[in-house]
Amino acid sequence: MEDMLFYDRMQFAFTITFHYLFPQLTMGLSLIIVYFKGNFLRTKLEKYNDAAKFWMRIFALNFAMGVVTGIPMEFQFGTNWAKFSELTGGIIGQTLAMEGMFSFFLESSFLGLFLFGEKLLGHKLHFITGFLVFLGSWASGFLIIATHSWMQHPVGYEILENGKFVLNNFGALFSNIWLWPSYLHNQAASLVTASFVVAAIGAFYILNNKHSEFGKLFVKTGVVFGLISSVIVAFPTGDMAAKNVVKHQPVTFAAMEGIFETEVGGSEIILIGQPNVLEKKLDNKIAVPNILSFLTYQKWEAEIKGLNEFDEKIYPTNIPGLYYAYHIMVGLGTIFIGLMLIAAVQLFRKKLYKTKWILWSLLFMLPFPYIANTTGWYTAELGRQPWLVYNLLRTTAGASPTVSSGNTLFTLLGFIGLYLLLGLLFLMLVGKIINKGPQIIKH
């Protein structure tokens, strides 16, 4: 049973990690595309229209990859996690079906019109199609996170005698106190990814003295959007999400922060340390006294419960993984704010495009928002374990008892091979689009 559960979790973790590489760019990029197209309508400068169409081609490729990798992931609800689907399908099926029927079709339909319908529609209707693509992609994220938020903080349900969860308050799904902080945090993080990608491609063009006008436009846009979104990820959205964890999942918060013993007189914030679960302590830690208490409760001496206050049966399954995922996310987020702030200052001083070390930094940072987003999701998922539905349904009770570990491992290896090929194909196609650059249409 343990082997079967391990491979079930590994397969879902791998497929969803690979899948989310694509939506995290498209959701943020859709807003930047709307910005470019809107600027074209306002200024009549063709470079904005060309920029919008250039990035929509990259958006379309990411969208296609998201669809291809998302469908097998959802099939796992009926194979590896059949018991989970049977017990909770009456609730999570609502939001997942809405995501497929409304958001996905809205996004895909108007994506086609934006890509191929500019001459037929005219610029104003073309802008509206781009806005509807943005609306569809953000609505999709909202409905997925509504599902996730219910699993983290279940509301509006009742449990029948046969153990099945049924919804008794539809509105509660969308007024869940876990939903809005998580959603806004996720969308801001998606915009961070898109901003860094746009800035990195712009820096690449400037450093190579290729498509320089677009390079400057992309760097400027990426830096402005990147600074705003990086700050929003930390505050207020990250702060609100963390306070939800403190209030409703205190054992998770203790594990995230590496607090093994409740500290009297205020909790320190850990900068560096290695969790030693056997001895229940942090090795080689570097910490700043009382800061965590102040950030959490705005009181220097506020008490934060350590893991010693809780039953070991409800400890997160993988405390070191949770701790490191959280600290990688927070560390990278801090670096993002610092880099974008420096770049914004140089942009204001009109020296950014000639400051090569910043341009190289923006280019080098391209993969790191993807890492930060991934570790952010790992923090949420590892933090909820050992529960599928927090405090109500354990992970062990959600796995399908009829799918063997051998079958799951076989298909996992198949997914790894197939996704490797898809990833290489995707990089080749994106590379061709970037190398060709924006298509300048002369009038």
The mean pLDDT of 298-304, rounded to a whole number, is: 90
Q: Please say if the pLDDT value at position 100 is more than 90.
A: no
pLDDT at position 192 is 98
The mean pLDDT of 280-285, rounded to a whole number, is: 93
The helix (run of H) or strand (run of E) holding residue 222 is: helix 212-232
pLDDT at position 441 is 56
Amino acid letter at 339?
Answer: L
Amino acid letter at 194?
Answer: A
- The answer to whether residues 195 and 28 touch, using CB atoms and an 8 Å cutoff, is yes
Tell me the pairing of strands 269-276 and 165-167.
unpaired
Tell me the pairing of strands 281-288 and 269-276.
antiparallel
Question: Per the structure block, which two tokens stand in for 194?
Answer: 């898109």
Q: Please say if the pLDDT value at position 1 is more than 80.
A: no
pLDDT at position 395 is 95
Q: Please say if the pLDDT value at position 101 is more than 70.
A: yes
Angstrom distance (rounded) from CA 241 to CA 404: 37
pLDDT at position 443 is 45
Please report, for residues 258, 270, 299, 424, the alpha-carbon distance to residue 267 in angstroms, rounded to integers and kept in the order given.
11, 9, 10, 46
The mean pLDDT of 394-398, rounded to a whole number, is: 95
- The answer to whether residues 398 and 165 touch, using CB atoms and an 8 Å cutoff, is no
pLDDT at position 74 is 85
| pLDDT tens-place string over residues 155-214 | 999 999 999 999 999 999 999 999 999 999 999 999 999 999 999 999 999 999 999 999
- pLDDT band for position 266 (cuts 50, 70, 90): confident
**268: number of Cβ within 10 Å:** 19
Phi, psi for residue 156 in degrees, rounded to 5 = 65, 35
* Report field, pTM of the whole predicted structure over 0.75: yes
Of the candidate ranges 36-50, 92-106, 168-182, the one whose mean pLDDT is the lowest:
92-106
- Degrees (nearest 5) of the Cα angle 345, 331, 253? 135
The helix (run of H) or strand (run of E) holding residue 283 is: strand 281-288
pLDDT at position 440 is 67
Q: Please say if the pLDDT value at position 120 is more than 70.
A: yes
**In the chain, % of residues over pLDDT 90:** 90
pLDDT at position 41 is 97
Q: Please say if the pLDDT value at position 62 is more than 90.
A: yes
pLDDT at position 40 is 97
Mean pLDDT of the chain: 95
